[in-house]
Structure formats: C-alpha cells, structure tokens
Amino acid sequence: MVVDQAVAAGLSKADVEERVAQGRSNDVPARASRSAWDIVRANVFTRINAIFGVLFVIIMSTGYVLDGLFGGLIVANSVIGIIQELRAKRTLDRLSIVGQARPRVRRDGETVELAPNEVVADDVIEMGPGDQIVVDGEVLSGEALEVDESMLTGESDPVVKEAGDQVLSGSFVVAGSGLYRATKVGRAAYAARLAEEAGKFTLVDSELRNGINKILKFITYLLIPAGALSIYNQLSGDQELPEALRGMVAALVPMVPEGLVLLTSIAFAVGVVRLGKRQCLVNELPAIEGLARVDVVCADKTGTLTENAMRLAEVRPVGEAGPDVARVLAALAATDPRPNASLAAIAEAHPESPGWPVTAIAPFSSARKWSGASFGEHGDWVLGAPDVLLAVDGAGAEVRAEADRAGSGGLRVLLLARAEGVVDRAGAPGAVEPVALVVLEQKIRPDAKDTLDYFAGQQVTVKVISGDNAASVGAVAATLGLPNATSPTDARSLPEDPERLTAELEQGSVFGRVTPAQKRAMVGALQSGGHTVAMTGDGVNDVLALKDADIGVAMGAGSPATRSVAQIVLLDNKFATLPHVVAEGRRVIGNIERVANLFLTKTVYSVLLALMVGVPGLIGLDALPYPFLPRHVTITGWFTIGLPAFVLSLAPNNERARSGFVPRVMRMAVPAGVIIAVASFVAYVLTYPGATGSQVAQVQASTTALITLMVIALWVLAIVARPYQWWKVLLLVVMSGASALMFLVPFTREIFQLDPSDAGATLTAFACAAVGIVLVEIAWWAGKFLVRPPS
C-alpha cells in the first residue's frame, strides 16, 4: 500500500492544536510516583496515628501534659515519611521522563521525537525494531513488519502486520519498519491502564514488607487481650481516674511498633534517591530488595559487557572475484532506516549508496540471525551469521572455519552472501554463495571486569547469554576473567527438556547463538532450579527474558520495549551500576531487619508486662498499678529504639540478603522481650511498697523497674549494632549517656518523675539487669547457632 504523501507528512501545527483543544491527546498519567496528596494522606491517616491520636486525647483530658509527649510521634511519623517520599517522588518523576519511550512522530513533513503524552489522535508515527507502540493505531505501511503482542495476549510469536492492520499500545516491533496512524489515545488506548499501574511508587510483592505485615497482624492479636486487661486492671483498682488513665495509656503506647513501617518506607525511599543520583531508575521499589536476593545474573554481551557501538575492522573476500563488495554493503545499509549496531557500523564505513532499486526486504530478526534485500538485476543479498547461513560441511565449511577463527578472538563476524532467490520468499534464504566476511570490532566496557569481580566476590553467578557466535562471546568473557568462559556452549545444541536444560545451565557460564525464546526458557530453567534470577539486556531480543526474570535490568540506551518491561533501568548504560543497586538492596534489607528487632522486642516486653501486671487482679490478688508513666515510655523509646533505629536504618550494610526474615527477627525479639519483661517485673515487685505505701516509695519502685528495662534494652541495642564500627560505638555511648543523664540531672528527674535515691532499690535494678543481660546474651548466641548455615 502506497501512503499518500500528505498523510505521510503528518499533522500540521494547527491540526495538533485543534486536537489538543478537543481533548484528543494522549493524556495518560505519567509513569511515576504517587501524587503529593496521596503521599500526605498515606502518611497522616494511618492506623498507628489513629491509635496514638485517641490515646493522646485521653492523656490531655487528665491534665498531665508531659505524659502526652508520645503525641509528637504522630507529627514525626507523618513529617519524616512525607519528606522522604516527596524526595523519592521528585527523583522518580525526573528519571521517568528521562527514561520514557519517545516515539518518532511525523509533523509538518518532519520527524520529531515527542514525549508519549504529546501524541494526539491521527498522528503518523514511525515504527522500527525495538520501538514500543505507545497508542492504538492503524498500520499505514510496513516493510516486513513484525510486532510482539505477548505482553497483551501472552502469545510470544511475533505477528506480521500489513497496511490496514491494527496495532495496540503495549506491544513492540521486533522486525521491519513502517508507519501507523494513532486512532485511540489517552485512556481510550488498550494498555493505558497497564502503563499507569506499571510505574506506581509501590511496595508490592516485597518479602520484607510482607514479613512486616505478617508480624503486625500477629501483634494485633496480642494487643486485644493485653490491651483489654490493661484497661480493666487500671480502671478497676483503687486509683483515681486520671492516674488509672495514665497507667492504661502507658501500657498501650509501647505495644504499637510505631516506627517500624515508617522506617521501612524511609529506607526504600532513601534508596530510590541514592540510586537516582547514579542515574538508576527504579520502576518498582521491590526491585531494590529483589536484586539484593539475586544469586544468578544473566547478562547479554552486547551493550552489557561490551559497548553497543561497533566499528568495521575489515572485509575479507572469499571465493572467486565477484561483485564490488563495498557497493553491495552500502546498498544493504541504505535499505534499513533504523539500522542495528552492526549495520550502522557498515553504513558509517560505506556511506555512499549506489541507489539500487529495492524489490524485497528481509529485516534483521534475532530468531533468524540474518537480514537481506533483493535488488532486481543487482542480485539477492543476505548478511548474517556465517554458522547460520552456511552448512556445516560442503563448500561453506572452509568459510565457516575462517569465521570461527576470527570470532574466537572476540570479533563479530558476518557473512555477506548471494541468495538463490528473493529474500522475502518462504524458506529464504536457502543455499547461499559466500562472497565476503565482514569483521566488526566491539569495545569491552572498561568497568565490566570490576563488575564481574564484584559479583564473584558476592557469590553471585554470572551467565553470559548472547545471540552472537559462541566462540566470540567466550573470547570476550574470557578476557574479563569469567569462570568457564573458555568452554562456551552453542545454544543450538541445548536440550529442550527443562530438567536437562537446567543441568546444562548449572555447568556452563557462556552461551552463544541464543534465540529470544531460548533466553526466556533459560531464565525459567534457572528459576526452576531454585535460583533468583536477574536478566540484563538492551535489545528487543531480551524483552521476553527480562519480563520473566525475577528482576529485569535494562540499559537506558536500549530499545523502548526493554525499558518498559524492566524493573530497573540504568540510564547511564553502565553495567557497573548494578553492584550499587545490589548494595542498596542489602542495606535496606539488613538495616530493616536490625531495627525490626528493636521495635518488636519493645512490643513483646510491653505486652507481657501488661499481662503480668493485670493477671493478679483477675485472680483475686491485689492489683498492681502499671509501673511506668507515659512519659517513661517516651524516653525509653527515644534512647533505646527511636533515635538508634533511625540511624541504623540509613547506615551502610553489606550483609548478603537471606530469606526467612520473620523467623530470624522473632528468634531475637521474643526471647529478648520476655527477658526484659520478667526482669523489670521482678525488680518492680521486689521494691513495690504496696497500695498503702508512700508516693515517694512508689516512684522509687517505678524508677527501679525503668532502670532495669533501659539497661537491658540498651544491651539489646548493642547486640543489634554488631559488628561494631566507630560510629556504632559512638551511637551506643551517646544513647547510654543520654539515658543515664535522665536519672542523674535534677531537672529531668523532676520532669519525668524519677527517683533513684534509694541505693538498695537501685542495686536491685542493676542486679536484675545483670541477670537479664546474661540471659539475653545466651539467647542471642543460641539463636546464631540455630540459624548457622550448613557447612
């Protein structure tokens, strides 16, 4: 179908303005983070803030304003969360704009690159290999056009598109070129809703977040009986109502791990900002965590280990003297308006096209491994992989051998050959007559070796999976020191059976001549073998594997299709950025696990203390008032949990991520919480003067219990901070010193109603604390022994 020149020229400026005024523009929401209002609402209107808000109102009604200090947590939780998420939002918004697909649109007879939301109805848009279809449309013209609609239909085989056929947003071009007219834009487009959801600021499918939610659900079940018992115990005793309410609030406030969810969100948000500074776009936040858990990285050679650009090194004629090879190469290069790296290098070396009329075209396909064109009386020509175009034996055997020798040195070798018929016929190209070997040079990325060495040191296996000649890929990988690179595997010899394929993949590290379907199968086979797999790539042939991998990593200069399916996009095209992403994920996971120990230890000892204080009243014994005031709970939270947890959550951490977050945290938090609760309760009971005792004696008993609790809690903090570094030691010293000052400075003693003047009671506190420390230490070492990895 010949496209009318007026139609092919595209819309005029006036046409565009008219359609924008009519609302017929592609006004899909940007693939970015949540709106500012969504962030504010999510951080202010939380269940924890609601609980604290009610308790704050209760305390204010008693007139004890200082006991309402915990109300500051409502403000702190909200403000800190809002600030960090807004920072992450700005980073995501900026990087999303940089990394988004930019369609090439015809306007006023010229081709311009536009943002997707600048496309309007009836725009004429160019298509080429790797281009993403950004709006629904109708094909105007196509040259051997093949479109992959697997993300929409699940069918991985490319669909041939001709003039008049429909193309849907969300699909992408795998071969050929053409034009299409936008028919449905904005929210009317087929994949608009999918695109909107794909780039949201989200924490879904995160083992870390799922684990925390599981813990919080369990805690909720504990809070109901413990809270009800506290309310009954405090309100049924002989205390005045204000005093009873103070005790009730003091019992309930520490049961809520108020900072755990906040610090998790902050850690992820800070990770986005840090990676953003390295030009790394994180489309989905769990990708930071996911890549930290990866134990196999499948990397494409071109664009990952080597630079995407190439240079024509030489052309070696083979066989008898034939046509002018330079003219044939120039003619082939001129047939592709969107050449790949190999054809672009040939076009650069042979820019003068002979102007031969084109009668048929076969664009390059990753599955075929060749491209070609028919020029009528000037012949039918193909350019592609020698080991694909030539038979193993016969006349082409010597040419194949020469190509293998060149490829074994790390060069890319293509065969220029004459086909026996037009190149777009069924069964093409058939038997070919070799004419020349086209030798191309690739530049190895200077940071590739350091990156491979990093992964090796972190016990992450790297598999190089490429569509290039296996010997050539192996030569490149060998220069980078990749294990087993000297024994590359030709993927055409790999078995189709998943179990046998998994076994082959476990043994090898370099695979050449891999088709897109095989890349996808290889990722699946590794996953079935129990591996967490990351796939890196930049070409359209990597899309299916990127989509199926646990973590897909695309290069910013790669095709729009790869960027759209990947969870992580390296906008600076540096493979060396991956170690930073891994390190950031490990920092997030390791630090959240540390601070989770602190918060959940507090929850455990708070619930148990409430039960131990309340049970005597239920069984007819004298009811005990809760040992602490709300203000005591506040200072305990400051110095043993809140401030240290904030510092630890943002600190460097290179520990390798492991599964089993919930069991590990509970293995530490439950014993520590039980020991703190029992030790504090014993210290309180030993010094409590009874209901008839003086107010001074009651304050001294409360102080005794608080000293016991804070000393053991600080020891738990010291355990969580291991292994020690200078800044961790400084943190422990500062927190311990600040805690001690609360009991030593007259001003703070008065404000927080503390009285450590009874030497006997204070010695009792330290004795109980010493026993508690020994037991916590034993529990920690026992826990380490239980989770020790098998030798």
Residues belonging to the active site: 300
- The two tokens of residue 146 are 């093949």
Sequence length of the chain is: 791
Q: Which helix (H) or strand (E) holds 290?
A: helix 286-293
Given a contact cutoff of 8 angstroms between Cβ atoms, the answer to whether 588 and 271 are in contact is yes
The Cβ of residue 653 has, within 10 Å, a number of other Cβ atoms equal to 18
Q: SS3 of 256, please?
A: coil
Q: How far is CA 485 from CA 403, 410, 442, 476, 529, in A?
A: 19, 12, 18, 8, 22
- Cβ atoms of residues 156 and 150 within 8 Å: yes
Q: Which residues contact 573 (CB under 8 A, 6 or more apart)?
A: 303, 308, 538, 555, 556, 557
- Which conformational region is residue 661 in: left (phi greater than 0), alpha (psi within -120 to 50 degrees), or beta? alpha
Q: Which two tokens stand for residue 154?
A: 């699940």
- CA-to-CA distance for 656 and 531, rounded, in angstroms? 15
Rounded to the nearest 10 degrees, the angle between the axes of helix 72-99 and helix 258-277 is 30
Q: Which helix (H) or strand (E) holds 312?
A: strand 306-317
How far apart CA 207 and CA 289 sit, in angstroms, is 8
**Residue closest to 173 by CA, chosen among 208, 128, 206, 230:** 128
Q: What CA–CA distances, in Å, run from 393 to 15, 397, 469, 512, 626?
A: 61, 5, 18, 20, 90
CA distance 152 to 688: 70
Compute CA distances 320 → 374, 406, 434, whole Å: 22, 20, 10
User: Is residue 591 packed enough to be buried (19+ CB in 10 Å), middle (13-18) or exposed (0-12)?
Assistant: buried
The CA distance from 548 to 541, in Å, is: 13
> In sequence order, which residues have a C-beta less than 8 Å from that of residue 110 and are 6 or more positions away?
10
Q: Hey, how many other C-beta atoms are within 10 angstroms of the C-beta on 270?
A: 18
Q: Is the distance from CB of 538 to CB of 557 less than 8 angstroms? A: yes
Tokens of 312: 């024509």
Q: Distance (Å, rounded) from C-alpha 40 to C-alpha 136? A: 35
Q: Token digits for 70?
A: 């915990």
Q: What is the DSSP string of 486-540?
A: TS-EEGGGS-SSHHHHHHHHHH-SEEES--HHHHHHHHHHHHHTT--EEEEE-SG
Q: How far apart are the first and last CA of the chain?
A: 69
- Which residue pairs from 713-718 have beta carbons closer than 8 angstroms and sit at least 24 positions apart in sequence? 713/601, 713/602, 713/636, 713/640, 713/641, 713/676, 714/639, 714/640, 714/739, 715/772, 715/773, 715/776, 715/777, 716/597, 716/598, 716/601, 716/640, 716/672, 716/676, 716/776, 717/598, 717/640, 717/641, 717/644
* Both tokens assigned to 324: 């002018």
